[in-house]
Amino acid sequence: MVVLAVATALFAQVSSQEPADGISPSAGISIGGFGSFGIPNNSSADFGSHKMVRFVGWLARADRQTLSIELKDRRVIRFLWDAKTRYLRDNATEPLASFRTADLVDVKADAGERGDLLARAVTFVRRPTPEEETEVLQSPEVTYRSEENVIESANIDPTRDSRKLGLVAKPEAIRIAAQLGASGDKPGSGDEDLIASIRNRVNTLFEGLPNFRAKLATSMFHSTSKDVKWVPNGVITAEIAYEGQGEQYSEILVNGKRPTTAPAIADAEYMRSFNNAWSTGDFETISHCVFTGLQDSDFRRAGTERDADGELAVYEFAGARASTCVAVRSQAQVAYPSYRGSLKARIKTGDVVHVELEATDVPAGFPLDRAERSVDFGPVDIAGEQFLLPKTGYWFGCYRNSYYCFLNRMDFHEYRHFRSDSNLRFGAGN
């Protein structure tokens, strides 16, 4: 999608005692769950002609294919690893199992043509300080990745353990909202009551989602001027199957043509391989993600609007980086920035019809300095029942200190019920 030939070189010294802010001078780069963003691979975020790169950071996790470290600026770097990857401690080879979460490590890796990193040597530097360990253990990379972590978990220092009943705030009792919309009245007498009702409605709808299929058309644009001019950049269409809270793609067409490498059934990783900005998790709904990470008092009533179907309550909110609602990925780099956002919900029913999210503290070493997304929801009939599902979404981003921005518009249509059996076939009528 976007080829960017910009600007800022980032260099950082690697020390055996202190973690680098990025990569070493030998590997300078130009110029970064739920609802993750992929950004174009073929940009100035790549590693150029440098074959070997080196990072120093705290070990976050390792599964059967990847190993992740968190840098000082909170960027996460994901490496592939294989049987040839060496793990070193005190000049001796050690098994991966001898490392533990939050250890400071020095990783040397080969940079692939697509920006992937293959770890060649992982060297133990030192154990983390209690403060460093506490920071790493709060990273979504540690807590939200679904794959099994094959390294030893860190042990929280019992003298610094704040997880005590006497130290934590005591929440109010949860109020289960009455059946919404039955009388046409507002579901609560105050803002907190309304938020509790909206939360209950979001959770109920999410838990009741059936397996279904839909068509997705992603229209891509880019602009290089201060006065935005959206230049068309192509269209990707696909059939999406939502089953068991997971998404799969089929019938993939790029500008009306099927790619020769397209599998019969693809995942989000394959869609990102098109070298385009991409977002995932829209079916799981960002409204559910937002409520998963925030408490009622985090929402501030900002006003009331009206549309053709009645009154809408408008709320503003902010979330910390421990959420994956805004997770931004560029090649091997992942950032979990804090965010702010807004939502609009129908006062009569508690249905959320619009959500916006904006990253607020993207790490300075990440190639993007702006990342935003929004989704509009609407009622959809599936197999005789009505559900609230995405209708149109936008994914917007800009490269650091430049007017090179991109915009993806995602349109969802032709929703229908999806029943799977032992012979899963896409494209057949239901």
For residue 5 the two structure tokens come to: 């030939």
Q: Last residue of a domain, which of 135, 154, 173? A: 154
Q: If 0-12 CB within 10 Å is exposed, 13-18 middle and 19+ buried, where does residue 279 land? A: buried
CATH number of the domain where residue 67 is located? 2.40.50.320
212 and 124 housed in the same domain: no
Q: Last residue of a domain, which of 154, 184, 219? A: 154
Pairing of strands 117-126, 86-89: parallel
The confidence score (pLDDT) of residue 15 equals: 31
Sign for the CA dihedral angle at 363, 368, 369, 373 comes to: negative
For 97: left if phi > 0, alpha if psi spans -120 to 50, otherwise beta; the answer is alpha
267 and 314 housed in the same domain: yes
Cα separation, 177 vs 317, in Å, equals 21
How many domains are contained in the chain? 2
310 and 390 housed in the same domain: yes
pLDDT band with cut points at 50, 70 and 90 for residue 284: low
For residue 13 the two structure tokens come to: 């010294």
27 and 139 housed in the same domain: yes
- 422 has a pLDDT exceeding 70: no
327 and 257 housed in the same domain: yes
Phi then psi dihedrals of residue 143, to 5 deg: -95, -20
Specify if 427 maps to a domain: no
More confident: 232 or 284: 232
Tell me the pLDDT tens digit for each residue of 214-236.
999 988 888 998 888 999 988 99
285 and 358 housed in the same domain: yes
200 and 303 housed in the same domain: yes
Cα separation, 134 vs 42, in Å, equals 35
Q: Last residue of a domain, which of 97, 126, 154? A: 154
150 and 223 housed in the same domain: no
pLDDT band with cut points at 50, 70 and 90 for residue 65: confident
Specify if 162 maps to a domain: no
The confidence score (pLDDT) of residue 353 equals: 94
147 and 63 housed in the same domain: yes
The confidence score (pLDDT) of residue 63 equals: 87
For range 239-254, the mean pLDDT: 81
pLDDT band with cut points at 50, 70 and 90 for residue 20: very low
Q: Can you say how many angstroms the Cα of residue 151 is from the centroid of all Cα atoms in its chain? A: 23
Specify if 426 maps to a domain: no
120 and 207 housed in the same domain: no
53 and 110 housed in the same domain: yes
Its domain, for residue 19, covers: 9-154
For residue 332 the two structure tokens come to: 């091997």
The confidence score (pLDDT) of residue 364 equals: 87
Eight-state DSSP code of residue 166:
T
205 and 148 housed in the same domain: no
Of 4-18, 34-48, 266-280, 296-310, the range with the highest mean pLDDT is: 296-310
Sign for the CA dihedral angle at 276, 281, 282, 287 comes to: negative
CATH number of the domain where residue 376 is located? 2.50.20
pLDDT band with cut points at 50, 70 and 90 for residue 31: very low
